[in-house]
Amino acid sequence: MTTTAPSPASSVDASVLVDRLRRTFASGRTRPLEWRREQLTRLRALVNECEPELTAALAADLGKPAIEAFVTELAFVKLEVDTALANLEHWTAPRPVPVPWKQKPGRARIVAEPLGVVLVIAPWNYPVQLTLAPMVAALAAGNCVVAKPSEVSAHTSATLGRLIPQYLDHDAVAVVEGGVPETQALLDERWDHILYTGNGTVGRIVMAAAAKHLTPVTLELGGKSPVIIDRDADVDVAARRVAWGKYLNAGQTCIAPDYALVHADVEERFITAVVRSIREFFGDDPHRSPDYARIVNGRHLRRLEHLLPEPGRSADGTVVVGGERDEHDWYFAPTVLRDVSTDAPVMQEEIFGPILPVIAVPDLQHAVDFVNARDKPLALYVFSADESAVEQVVEHTSSGGVCVNHVVLHFMNENIPFGGVGPSGTGAYHGRTGFETFSHLKGVVSRTVKPDPKVAYPPYSAFKRAVLRRYL
């Protein structure tokens, strides 16, 4: 893919920008529900009315098929908007909570208040969704927002940089384009929350910058998300679903099945079924398929090349299918590896591309032990017809989320939090969880003026001390 990327917008003075948004927030402009509803409605209009432009930008950056762009990017943002609009009044209503009898007569409630001015730093793999969906949560919570799209997906960054100011409140929402210097300038500022989606290396930089101002962060970082195929799984269905999730967006998905741990008794059947699914999805030559995306740039294509087995190194695995690539349009074929050693390069880092290593295991416990010996993943997938086996995996592993007998779908459920654990991330968002991520849940206790027993106040006589010790 050799299209010329647009130049990013000129650099802005981050301190001037943040100061302007702080003045807007201090004025109270973003707090009324009417303002929040208006911004969310306009954001939905942006996605609806500008679908052709957004789809074209995604195609230019990632070769993303139009239907894939709609399902995984645009429709998801609209779902988040609709969920927020339908629930905004309920989410923002003060929530009564019980008062201990020792504090009666009185009342207590939890009030959700906006944090202030927040920063959303988005990645390049789903550049529309992962820029706009966090903004939905931040706007629903009543915040001012600065969005920083990735410079790697330059066409989408330029499109969002042009469209967002046309639709949203310019005094409360801003887009900053550019690369590392612009991101660093933003991180030097004081924010009330930062949400970053990307890799752990940059996640550490974000967290270190936030620590200088004691700014809370949400980090969505990814990792090697395993899929476990038990002996009694429906192998054909499992293979089809794993192939769909793995080769979606050419594997450039933070919750893609990174590698498969397959019971040795069904390994051959599983590999055969995955290869068959690839052909069903993309034909005999995926390079010509209109439904298969491209790698984002040449650097990432070459990174993936280095994960393939080298001649003479059998421990790196054997290519069952795929491995072809074309640097002219950044094509990397859907690829399956077998006989992969745990020391192989492909098992040392998140693949983030269309390579599926298959590792045979003798039983389910070995698969659980394999997962637990490594960093906690962002997602974990298990295929099994045995509910006790599923519960064994769910209870005895730790991951950001789990999907049983399918992949990726848990991300699309706005009613459950999405986030990582340990090295795969911290914090969560989506739906109400996103609203609360960008809110401060403030506890409020109200007491009546009377009664006002003097036993609570000094001087503390022996009688008062006895009463306080007895009832508090």
Residues assigned a catalytic role: 220, 254
Taking residues 161-189, report their average pLDDT: 97
Give pLDDT tens digits for 205-251. 999 999 999 999 999 999 999 999 999 999 999 999 999 999 999 99
Query: Which contacts of 16-23 are long-range, i.e. CB under 8 A and separated by 24 or more positions?
Result: 17/146, 17/174, 17/176, 18/117, 18/146, 18/189, 18/190, 18/191, 20/171, 21/117, 21/144, 21/146, 21/171, 21/172, 21/174, 22/116, 22/117, 22/144
Residue 94, helix vs strand vs coil: coil
Q: Percentage of the chain with pLDDT > 90?
A: 91
Residues 170, 199 contacting (CB under 8 angstroms): no
Looking at the chain, which residues constitute the CATH 3.40.309.10 domain(s)?
226-419
Q: For the chain, what's the residue count? A: 472
How large is the average pLDDT for residues 453-469? 91
The CATH code that applies to domain 14-221+422-444 is: 3.40.605.10
CATH number of 226-419: 3.40.309.10
Q: Report d(CA 368, CA 394) in Å as an integer.
A: 10
What is the per-residue pLDDT for 11?
A: 54
Range(s) of the chain covered by CATH 3.40.605.10: 14-221+422-444
User: What torsion do the CA atoms of 364, 398, 409, 262 make, to the nearest 10 degrees?
Assistant: -20
pLDDT over 60 at 198, yes or no: yes
Residue 242 CB neighbours (<10 A): 26
Q: Looking at residues 361-382, what average pLDDT do you find?
A: 97
pTM of the model: 0.94
pLDDT digits 0-9 by tens, 11-27: 579 999 999 999 999 99
Query: 29-75: per-residue pLDDT in tens?
Result: 999 999 999 999 999 999 999 999 999 999 999 999 999 999 999 99
For the chain, give the mean pLDDT.
Answer: 95
